[in-house]
Each structure stands twice: as C-alpha cells, then as structure tokens.
Chain A
Amino acid sequence: MPDPIHQFDLERLFQLNLFGYDASFTNSSLYMVVVVVAIVGFLLYAIQTRSLVPTRLQSLAEMAYEFVAGMIRDSMGEEGMKFFPLIFTLFMFIFAANMIGLIPGAFTVTSHVIVTAALALLVFLTVIIAGFAKNGLGFLKLFVPDGVPIYVLPLVSAIEVISFFSRPISHSLRLFANMLAGHITLKVFAGFIVMLLGSAGAAKFLMPLPLIAVVGITALEFLVAFLQAYVFTMLTCMYLNDALHPGH
C-alpha cells in the first residue's frame, strides 16, 4: 500500500543557507509561489476590462471582494475595513492553497502546521498590536468582563487569559488538521482501490466501493477547502473585532 504520509514530505529544491539557518527553497515554497501567482494573475486578468457590466471573470473577482467585505462589515462594522487588505489576502491565500492542493499530485501548503501557525500568529500579533495601539491599556479590559464580582475576578481573569492564548492554537490547528486528515483519507481510500484490484479472487469485485467513496470524499474536500478558508477568515474578523472593541 502506498504511504499516505508521503504526500506531505518536504523536498529541498535549492539548497540555501542564511545566517546558519536552513532556508532552502522547498516544494512547499514552490507551491506558495504558485498560489500567489495564481491569485495575483487571476485578479489582475479579471479586472483588466473594468467594465460597468462585468465579464464572468470580473464578476468572480467582485464576488470575492464582496464576500470578504461583507464578512468584515458584519462582524466589525465600517471601521473594520482598514483591515480589509490583511483579511482579503488571508482568505484568498488559504482558499487558493486548499484548492490547488486538491489537484492530484499537487502539494497542499496548508497541510503543514508551521504554515497555518505562522498565519494564526500573524493574526494574533496584529490583534495585540492593533489593540494596544487603539485602546492603550484599555485593551486589557478584554480580560476583565463587565459585571463580575470582585472576589471571583482573579479566577475569571485567569480563564480569560487562557482563553485568549488558546486562540492562535485552535485557529491554526483547525485548518491544518482538516487539510491533513482530508488528504490522508483520500490517499488511504485510493490505496484500497489498488489493493483490491491486485488481490486474487472475488475481492477484486469490491473495487468500485472505495472508488465511489473517493469520488464522494473528493467532493466533500472541495467543500471543506472553502469552509476552512471561510472559518479562518471569520475568526480573524472576530478576533480583530476584540482589538477594536475590547471589554465585551
């Protein structure tokens, strides 16, 4: 049976050593470049005409804009639109990386926890910096909920602090685990097809069962690819909202 983990192996394409760190250009880096080029190329090509009556591609680009802008306005209000560049970039990057990863043989950038953790930490640090920049020490009100009696306040504050620091972890693990699990499941079921075909006797005729399952799981993975990008973006909006309006 083919190794279902093999698809996540990193390979160095160019060796590169920077200040004693291994900064080689890997297949993961290559696919990140592919994702970015695909997004930028698509958006630049789509808005080329800039017509009032959009072409199909232009309306697709406009839909992406409206989708993210709507999400931001829903959760943060008009004020949140100053974070639009960050949030739109995150959404497009994760969505494109998930989708390109579903092409057979392609590498899934978001199936490595280090990549999703870097994205989640970017959001986490943005929340902290923007929160302190906008509210000063008032940002710490985030850990002191309204209407809590003074004698349970230390306990509640401790819980709030843990809850705050657990955010980047759940934020990154969710995306990573979903992509990893989905790709392993696909590979395992695909492996069953080969195994059943290679087996002797009547087991051969069970082959269509995993084949049907793989088709179904692939469709589900397309849904998950979108949903995870959506969830990541929505949570980013929620966390940034805390930076703008702490204290509830």
Chain B
Amino acid sequence: MSIENQGGGGQRGDLSPEDKAAFERRIAGLDKRLGDVKSREAAATKASRGRSSQNRGMAYGLRMASELVAAVLVGGLIGYALDHFLGTKPWLFLVMFILGFAAGVTNVMRSYDKVQKDVAKTTGGNIGHAVPDDNDD
C-alpha cells in the first residue's frame, strides 16, 4: 500500500489508514514507555530527596532543644550576675529567667520558620504535588 502511495501523486506526508494506525500505536507505545521511565525516575528522586530531607530533619531536630535550654541558662545567668552587683536578690534573677524562657521560645520558633522555608525550597514549594498525566487526550 505504502509503495503504491509513494508512486502515486499523493503528498509525502500522506499515510494510508493502516500505516497511520500503526504509527499511532507506536506513538501510544512510546508515550507509555516514556511515562514509565518518567515515573520511575520521579520515584527515585523522591526517594533520595526523602533520605536527604530525613538527614536534614534530624539536623534540625538536634538544634531545637539546645536553643531553648541555652536561652534559659543565659537569661538566668545574666539575672543572677545583675542581682549580685546591684544587690536586688532575687528579683532580677526571676525576671531574667522568665525573659530567657521567652527568648528560648522565640529562638525555637525562628528556627522552625527557617526549617519550613528550607523544606519548601528543596521540594519546590509544592509538597505532595501530583505529576500531571499527559497520556489522556
């Protein structure tokens, strides 16, 4: 058929219905194979991203507790020293201790904000975003 067509006056781009059907089958097959490869690659990058973000999560987690404790310690220490020099025992210690706690909570909240920003950056800002399916017409 195709030979006939080429010999005839038909244009080059013209295909017989059977050829066209075969061609479309091939395209569909390619689409499917490409989709398979794409989804496999996506799964692989997702897995590696999950691993690295797990490490990152651990790094962030290790930070939080010490941020809180250190601020309380420093607040208490400053208060204690001021009390010692100003002779106002124990009032400044109590005030600074509470302020230290507030500073600790501020620290933790700030580093949490930063974690959120970092996570949004590594995942492109779309956590749980679905890959669009381009097989459907």
Interface residue ranges, A against B (CB under 8 Å): 155, 158-160, 162-163, 165-167, 169-170, 173-174, 177-178, 223, 227-228, 230-231, 234-235, 238
Contacts and interface: CB of A to CB of B under 8 A. Distances in A.
Contacts of B74: 162, 165-166, 169
Given A163-B106, A166-B73, A231-B59, A158 B99 contact: yes
| Residue with the greatest number of chain A CB neighbours at <10 A, chosen from B99, B102, B103, B114 | B103
B3 to A, nearest CB: 51
Contacts of A238: 114
A173 B66 contact: yes
Nearest to A174: B66
Contacts of B63: 170, 174, 231, 235
Contacts of A165: 74, 78
Interface residues of B, number: 23
B62 A162 contact: no
Contacts of A160: 103, 106
Given A162-B78, A230-B59, 7 more contacts: A162-B74, A165-B74, A169-B74, A170-B107, A227-B59, A228-B62, A234-B59
9 contacts: A162-B75, A162-B78, A162-B99, A163-B104, A166-B74, A167-B70, A169-B70, A173-B66, A227-B58
A166 B104 contact: yes
A235 B106 CA distance: 16
B55 A163 contact: no
B69 interface: yes
Contacts of A162: 71, 74-75, 78, 96, 99-100, 103
A159 B102 contact: yes
A227 B106 CA distance: 24
A170 B70 contact: yes
B29 to A, nearest CB: 38
B67 interface: yes
A19 B99 CA distance: 41
A101 B54 CA distance: 25
